[in-house]
Every structure is written in structure tokens, then in C-alpha cells.
Chain A
Amino acid sequence: MASSKNITVEVDGANYNDDVEPRLLLVQYLRERLGKTGTLIGCDTTNCGACTVHLDGVSVKSCTMLAVQADGHKVTTIEGMAQDGKLHPLQEAFHQCHALQCGFCTPGMIMASASLLTENQHPTEKEIREGLEGNLCRCTGYQNIVAAVKSVADGVEYDDSGVQSGADKTAGVS
């Protein structure tokens, strides 16, 4: 077993200093050492995107980085997205648009979406779909995810009624 390396990383606003095995993946460091289990592992080939986090504000798949590569950098996970008890607009939009079912892809999908909107503040539906192609979802068929991201780009404000506006088509049922 190779010797440990010492790293200093800021994760979700807190500073950590740890000795890690050089082969330890960033996602393993986050989950197993820091207890940041909000970030999930869905594959072993960097295809699914469940482990997506931000490194200095840019989305990366944390299964494709070693923990030692994050040394000296700032990492944001899904657990650091809500600020002062208020959800990030994308978290709110995913809830409002029913953009999650089992919720396993959701942390990565939200992190990838946030990065996408940083790069392109007003994406078209096509641009959103292409921007999220590195994140797989097996439950939603993507339509509501696309709608959630679009709603944030469009600045849609949601009420807190707990009922989706405009979603009920019962009236139109024959």
C-alpha cells in the first residue's frame, strides 16, 4: 500500500486536513472520510454523474478525481447548496417540477444543472438536454428535469402552497 498524502480541502464551507491514500477517489473521501453521503456513486466508468460536485465552482465527477487532486481546492456538494436554511433555486425547482422520483441521480443532476446555468444563463430546451447528457436518470424520463432547469433560467417564482400550479389536468379528462 502506497504511503499517505496530506491534503487540505474546503468542502461546503468547512476546512479539512487529512492524510489519504493516493488512490482514494474524491467521492470516497467525501463519503467515507467526511460523511458527505449526499453525494452518491452510481457507476464506475464516469457515465452516470450521480457523484457530480463542484470544484472551485465547476462541475466535476468526483469518481473521476483523486482526493489528492482536490488538495488546495474548494469543493461544493449537494449538502452545501442550501444557504441559511433556504433551498438553492434548483433544489426548489426540482421539487416544484417533480423532477425526481427515487432521488438517486438528483444530487448530481442538481450540481450539473447549476454548473450548466453558470455557463449558459438562458439555455434552450435542447441546450439543457445536451448540457445534462453526462447525468443519467432512470425514473423521470428527463422531461421534468429539463422543465426544472428551464424554470430557474426563466426566473419562475414558486409559491409555497405545496400544490403544483397548472399541473392538474383532471378538469380536461373526459
Chain B
Amino acid sequence: MTSTTESSPAAAQKPEIGKARLRKEDAHLITGRSRFTDNMVLPGMLHLAMVRSPFAHAKITGINVTAAKSSPGVLAVLTGADVAQEQGSLPNAWPVTPDQKAPAHPSIAVDEVAFAGEVVAVIIARSVAAARDAVELVDVDYEELPVVLDLEEAFTDQVLAHSTLDSNKSATWIFDSAEAGTGTSIADALANSEVVVERTLYQQRVIPAFMEPRSIVVDPTGEQLTMWSSTQIPHILRLMLALTLGIPESKVRVIAPDVGGGFGGKLQVTPEEIITVLAARRSGKPCKFTETRSESLQVGHHGRAQVQRLKISATKEGIVTGLSVNLLADMGAYLGLITSGIPILGAFMYNSIYKFPAYRFECNNIFTNKPWTDAYRGAGRPEATFAIERMMDELATELGMDPLELRAKNWIRHDEFPFTTVAGLEYDTGNYEAATDKAIALFDYDGMRDEQKRRRENNDPVQLGIGISTFTEMCGLAPSRVLGSLNYAAGGWEHAQVRVLPTGTIEVVTGSSAHGQGHETAWSQLVADRLGVPFENIQVLHGDTAISQRGLDTYGSRSLSVGGMAVLAAADKVIEKARVIAAHMMEASEGDLEFANGSFTVKGTEQSTTLGEIAFAAFSAHNMPEGVEPNLDSEATFDPVNFSYPHGTHLAAIEVDTETGHVNVLKYVCVDDIGVVVNPVLVEGQVHGGLAQGISQALYEEAVYDDAGTLVSGSFVDYLVPGAPDLPHYITDRTETPATSNQLGAKGVGEAGTIASTPAIVNGVLDALRHLGVKDIKMPCTPSRVWHALEEAKTTGGMQ
């Protein structure tokens, strides 16, 4: 596409959908005019610091705050007992079973702490320094209790994570294709198949590690309590603040200003948010809390953390007949907003792009004395994809078959869509053959296999592996009726407003609150396209519940396919509203008007009027048609009828130094099919960032605990967020089969890279080393683990 200047109305006639627009959001971020929450300063503002439990499980037997209270600059110290009557219990919006068990979750612990880092007291002071100084002066007496940290051990209930619960099991959730009527019996498949492969895989606990630490400012002055928070979910947060604290929702305003990344990690209602409200209400002054990075890593919710026991059955020819999944999912110590539902989202994805007939999924949600888990980029789906793609490689090895050939034998062919899966979803469109063919060509698959063979034959110290991941995901969360059937408390619609101002410029209000994705740019393209007005004349507003009253926020790759559709529907309503006024202005009948390029024209004449002229006529309202309100404002809500199903094929060439255990990603090719693309620049950015996080789970990241339950990887010194030298150059491309669940044909791209890349990397590492007897390496595949796996294979002769 050529570059042209788009400032004139005539130029705006060119299609906006698909254009590589640069971002509107950048100007203030590259010049330092940012509005992150921690930049906020309000008159009389006080600062908070948290006193946190050093123990992972203990009774609180006494708290002495006398010294802290008299520390210079300290105004007050709050304990759990002080606020016990008003703090409520933090919300869980997804009781996955009717008998789900969950401990009460006060923001400030009252009697018992269940993970290291839990808040036990709060300092309110004139400065951050004064507040932090006083933290050291709070004297808390603890009576230590036994801790349970390991998921498999927690499942046995020998040590309880909470003394108030009689079991660590929160819920058991089962899907069985035979019972659901979506397929056949897994027991029969396992009993009657020629090949059964059984493996236990581990999803390590990882930390979202968004770059902006979470920050909260609460202003209690005036009639409405205003909260600025570094959150992905201003709308849900407002509702939950009202429900948790018993404040009328109309008295709460939540603003998410510039938000420095989230990746699911800011999809939460946090103790710190509740505490900042309590402190502001008590002091009558604006209060701010900004976490340190160590606090962020320690207590912000984590992701993944599952044990996956898997059985896959097949014929000798490589036709998969069934899959059994038995999960232990680590909730951590408490259920967050959707903690309990994360592994259940995965339940629908273990069958992935394949059409085997028998499937059983059982998940036990288990409490441990670690911080809560919850959404992290992909949320349940990366875990599922990792499991099935690892198992397909294990099965291919067992059968002596090329892993790509095995996949092709089992995937849904492009002419078989729409396809109802064994998990009960209807995949509308897809073309796995096309994406794979393109990836193979870009990767030079045969050439890489030749090189692999050469290195094996030469006993090259640096071996080569080829990692494959073919994937799909369910995006566009979500049809409200489906969420209802899964017992999720809220719907999955999205809301938008479009307003034509009297001067002809346009405001678009979206309920999808962005935090780096580029909605302002993409939504401007959508409206420019639909209304035929210049891209530059559109302002997108979001992230403030006083401006965007309704919304369900940003997660689950939902923004474009749900939120974007709401924007388009609102734009269409503007056109219909304007048509009535235009007809009146030009004394023509509505049926004789044509709308194009921002103007209504009377058919067969040169008589026309622009949206701006109509908006001004409505504003002055001197001569309105009977019964028509004087504005060009509209609003619309879109609720999807189905999920969207992006898919793709990722191929990774992985070098493993057998002498040092070092892993190098030599080449990474991904071909993603995310349906129709509104802005390829934004899409590319989302893919790159997703790949980085997925690769990083495979190679670098893990939340490590000592035996007492203390986070050892509690700073960026020890928790390895990769830097530029740690990641490869990505080769990306796309195929395009439009989604049918929304008019745009968009599927979603926010999580694709993360979901697909983790198994591609690990499959590649194992493919490099299997001939040396290595069967599995737990993530992250660090040099140490790789080297030890090689050493172990040498001593056992590969027979582990």
C-alpha cells in the first residue's frame, strides 16, 4: 500500500481497513507527556506503604503499631481489625461449580495470613519515604503454621493452606464428551487404541511483569469518590468496589489513565485498591499507593501453575482417537476475580485444531500457600495448547512419524468448516493447510531437516531441533449466554458511543479500555471508514467511567471483534439519525438519499450535505424535523453470537549447545490467521510481544519459592524478563480466513503469539536432544536444566 497524505476529505475516501496507520497514541508517550497513575499529584495527597507478612502461613496473634504511629510524617496506621467491619471480602466472579469452596479474602488480613506478602497493616503518611520508614516499626506477632507449596502435595490435603477450610480443593470441574453428547467415550478410546502415550507436563508459575508497577490514587473529596488505577478493567473495578465496600455505584468513578501494560496481570480487583479507598475515606484526603517492583512480583497475581496429566490414544497409522486431561490447577491462597475459571477456559482448547472423537477433561482447583493466580496472556489456552502440541510430538515420536504429517492427518480440513468440536464449540472458519504451507515455505522445513540430520551425523556439539506448534484459540470473549452457562457472573458484550460534534469532528467512546494495544488508532480507522470522515478528525475516549459509562474492558483478545463491532454499530446509528435530519434540510425524502464519503446526496442531483453540516444544524436546532432530538449522538452494544477462532502455524529452529545447555532460537517463523486485519502495524506489534512472552515462558521465567514459601525470584535480578539480546528476530506472515461471528471478519491477535510459541520452543529443544536420550525438560529450559537432562540421559542410557 502506498503512502499518501490523508488530511483532505477526498483522501479519506480511500479504505481505512487494512491501512498501516501509525499510532495516535505515540505522540505523548515518546515525549514524556505521559499520564501514568504514579505521575498524579493532588492537593494534600497522602501516601501509603504496606506492612506485609514475611510468613506464608501464620496466625496473627498481635500487632503493635505504637512506634509506627509516632514516626515522623505518619498520620495513621490501619490494621485488619480496624477495618474488619468495612473492608468486605475481595470478589471472585466465577464460581465454577455450585459447591466451589473459597476462603474469605479481606484486603488487610485479620486473623491469618496464607501467603508471604499478604498485607497485615497499612501506613498512611505525608511522603512515601515516611510511610516506608514506618513499615519497619510495626511489630507483628505471628504464630507460624505449616505451609503447603507443592501442587501435588496440596492435592493430598496432608497440610491445609487455610485453617478455615477442611480441604485444599476449591472445586472439581469435569467435561466428558460422551456425557455431553459431543463425542465418544474416552475410556473406550484408551482401552481399544493401538497406541496410548501418557505424560505428565508442568506449567511453571510465571509472573505477568508488566513494566508499570501498579499504582492507585483515590480522591475522596467531593460527592463522588474518584479512583485512578493502573488497571485493565475500570468498569468491572467500579462495579466491584461498589459491591465489596457497599458504596453506591453512582458514587464511584474509576479512571484508568495511561496504563503501562497488563497482559492479564491488571485484570484484577486488588487488596491495594480496596485499601487505598479505605485510607482515603478515613483520612478525608487523596491517598496514593504505588507498589515497588518487588511487591509487584511478590503479590500481583501470577499465571499458569498447573500439573497436566495427559493420555492420548491413536491408531498405528497416526489417527488420534482420544485425549484424557487431568489437571491440578494452583489457585494460590485465594480466588481472584477469575482465578477459578482460568483452567476451565482451557478445557475447550485441549482438542485444539484436531478432530478426534473422545475427550475427557477433569480439573481440580487447589489452594496453596502462594499468591493467587489469575489471568495471564492467553489465560488457560496457552496451557492447553502447550499440552496438546507437546503430546502430538510425543505421539509422533512413538509412531516414528514426522510431527507435521501427524498433525495434518488429524486436523480439521478447510472444507470441513464449520466444525463442531469434541469440546462442543463451533469453529466457524479456518484454513490450517494454508497457514502451514506458508510457514513451511518461509521456514525451509526440508532444508532445516537436512541441516538437523547433518549435525546429528557429525555429532555436532550444537544440535538442531525443529519445534512445531499448530494452534487455535477461542477469542472475542465472549457470547454472554456462553459465559452464563459457565456460571461467570458478568456478560461478554461491549459498548460504544459515537458523537458528531457541531464542528464536524467526532468523538468515539469505547468500553474497551486499552493499555498499549492501539485502540485509539484502530477505532479511528473503523469510524473513518464507516462515516467517511478523515482519520485525524476522530478522537477516541476510553478508560474513565464518567466518560465511558458502560463497558467490559480489555482482555481475551476481545477488543476489535466485540468492542470494534460496537463502535461500528454506533456509527451506523449516527448515519440513520443524520439521514432524517438531512432529508429535512434538503427537503428530500429519506429514501432518495445516498450516504457516502461523509455526505448525504439526493440521488441524481448534486445536492448534498455533510455530516458536519447536519451536526451543526442539529446543534442550533432552529429547524428540526418533528419529533427528532437535536444531536448526532448514538450508542450501541454488541454481544457476539460465537467466539472467534484465530489459528496459525509456528515453526522454530532451535540450537542446543550440548556442552553448555545453552538454547538459541536460530529462526522463528509464524504464520497467523487472525481474520481480517484493520491495521497491520498494530497486528505485527501484538504478534511480536506475544511471541516474546511465550518464548520467555519456555526458556527463562519462573516464580521460584523456597521451602518456607518465600519468593526467591522477587526482583528483576532473579526473575528473568528477557532483554533484547535474549530474543530472536521473528519472521511473521499471515493468512486470512475471515471470522463469521462478526461483520468485520476479525478474530483477535492479542494472545496468539504467547499461546503458540511456548510449545514450539520446547518441542524444538526436545527435537534437538531426543536422539541423545532426553525425553522431557521442565520449563523454563534453562542451560542448567538442559545440561542436567543431557547428563542424566548419558547415565541412564536414555532409559529414564
Which A residues lie at the B interface, using CB under 8 A? 1, 21, 23, 31, 36-45, 47-48, 50, 77-79, 81-82, 87, 91, 94-96, 98, 100-107, 110, 125-126, 128-130, 132-146, 159-165, 167-174
19 contacts between A and B (CB under 8 A): A44-B715, A79-B32, A95-B26, A95-B30, A96-B22, A101-B261, A102-B258, A102-B515, A104-B211, A107-B32, A136-B721, A138-B211, A138-B263, A138-B693, A139-B261, A162-B536, A163-B6, A165-B3, A174-B736
In the complex, which residues of chain B have a beta carbon less than 8 angstroms from the beta carbon of A133? 723-725
Answer yes or no: B209 CB below 8 A from chain A CBs: yes
Are the CB atoms of A138 and B721 closer together than 8 Å? yes
CB proximity to A under 8 Å, residues B485-501: none
Q: How far is the CA of A37 from the CA of B40 in the complex (A)?
A: 9
A161/B3 in contact, CB under 8 A = yes
A48 to B38, CA, bound (A): 17
Within 8 A of A (CB), among B96-147: 129
- Chain B min CB distance to A118 (Å): 18
Instruction: Taking A136-B723, A163-B20, A169-B733 as given, write out 6 further A-B residue pairs in contact, using a Cβ cutoff of 8 Å, ordered by the A residue number.
Output: A40-B38, A87-B30, A101-B518, A135-B723, A140-B689, A159-B3
CB of A168 within 8 A of CB of B26, answer no
Q: Given A95-B30, A102-B259, do A143 and B729 touch, yes or no (CB 8 Å)?
A: yes
Q: In chain B between 654 and 691, which residues have their CB closer than 8 angstroms to a CB of chain A?
A: 677, 680-682, 684-685, 688-691
Residues of A within 8 A of B515 (CB): 102
In the complex the two chains form, is A42's CB within 8 Å of B212's CB?
yes
Given the contacts A43-B293, A94-B30, A101-B689, A163 and B212 also touching, CB distance less than 8 Å: no
Query: How far apart are the CA atoms of A109 and B688 in the complex, in Å?
Result: 17
Residues on B with beta carbons closer than 8 Å to the beta carbon of A38: 31-34
Contact of A163 with B30 in the complex, beta carbons under 8 Å: no
* Cβ contacts under 8 Å, B20 to chain A: 163-165, 167-168
What's the tally of chain B residues with a CB closer than 8 Å to chain A? Answer: 73
Q: What does the 1/0 interface line of B689-728 toward A look like (CB < 8 Å)?
A: 1111100000000000000000000011100010111010
Which of A41, A107, A144, A167 is within 8 Å of B38, CB to CB?
A41
* Inter-chain contact A143/B32, CB cutoff 8 Å: no
> Which A residues lie within 8 Å of B730 (CB)?
141, 143
Which residues of the other chain, A, contact B605 by a CB distance below 8 angstroms?
Answer: none
> Is B59 engaged at the interface, CB distance under 8 Å to the other chain?
no
Which 10 pairs of residues, A with B, have the shortest CB-CB distance?
A: A38-B32, A103-B29, A102-B516, A104-B260, A141-B692, A47-B716, A141-B688, A101-B516, A43-B293, A78-B32
Does A136 lie within 8 Å of B684, measured CB to CB?
no
| Docked complex Cα distance between A127 and B212 (Å) | 27
Q: A159: which B residues are within 8 A, CB to CB? A: 3
Most chain B CB inside 10 Å of its own CB: which residue of A23, A101, A106, A174? A101
Judge whether B22 and A77 touch: CB under 8 Å: no
* A161 pairs with B261, CB closer than 8 A: no
* Contact of B715 (CB < 8 Å), options: A43, A105, A106: A43
Q: Which residues of B contact A50 (CB under 8 A)?
A: 211
Q: Which of A39, A45, A81, A161 contacts B5 (CB 8 A)?
A: A161
Which residues on A sit within 8 Å (CB–CB) of B129? 21, 23
**How far, in whole Å, are A82 and B685 apart by their CA atoms in the complex?**
25
Closest to B262 in A: A102
**Residue B19 at the A interface, CB < 8 A?**
yes
Complex contact B736–A95 (CB within 8 A): no
Complex alpha-carbon distance, A38 and B28, angstroms: 9
- Kindly list chain A residues whose C-beta atoms are within 8 Å of the C-beta of B690: 141
Contact, CB under 8 Å: B735 / A45: no
Closest to B6 in A: A162
Complex Cα spacing A79 to B32, Å: 5
Contact A45 B716 (CB under 8 A): yes
Pick from A47, A100, A160: contact of B717, CB under 8 Å: A47
B317 within 8 A of A: no
Partner of A161, one of B6, B32, B294, B688: B6
For B727, list chain A residues within 8 Å (CB): 141-143
Check B733 against A42 for contact (C-beta < 8 Å).
no
Which residues of chain B from 517 to 574 have a CB within 8 Å of any chain A CB? 517-518, 535-536
Q: B516 contacts A139, CB within 8 Å?
A: yes
Give the residues in chain B near A160, CB-CB below 8 Å.
5
CA distance A21 to B211 in the complex (A): 28
Q: B206 CB to closest chain A CB, in angstroms?
A: 12
Nearest chain B CB to A109 CB, angstrom units: 10
User: Which of A79, A91, A162 has most chain B Cβ within 10 Å?
Assistant: A162
Interfacial chain B residues near A95, Cβ < 8 Å: 22-23, 26-27, 30
- Please report the C-alpha to C-alpha distance between residue A133 and residue B716 in the assembled complex, in whole angstroms: 13
Task: Choose among B25, B27, B434, B685 the residue with the greatest number of A CB atoms under 10 Å from its CB.
Answer: B685
Contact B34–A81 (Cβ < 8 Å): no
Q: When each residue 33-47 of chain B gets 1 if its CB lies under 8 Å from chain A and 0 otherwise, what string results?
A: 110101100000000
Q: Which residue of A lies closest to B4 (CB)?
A: A161
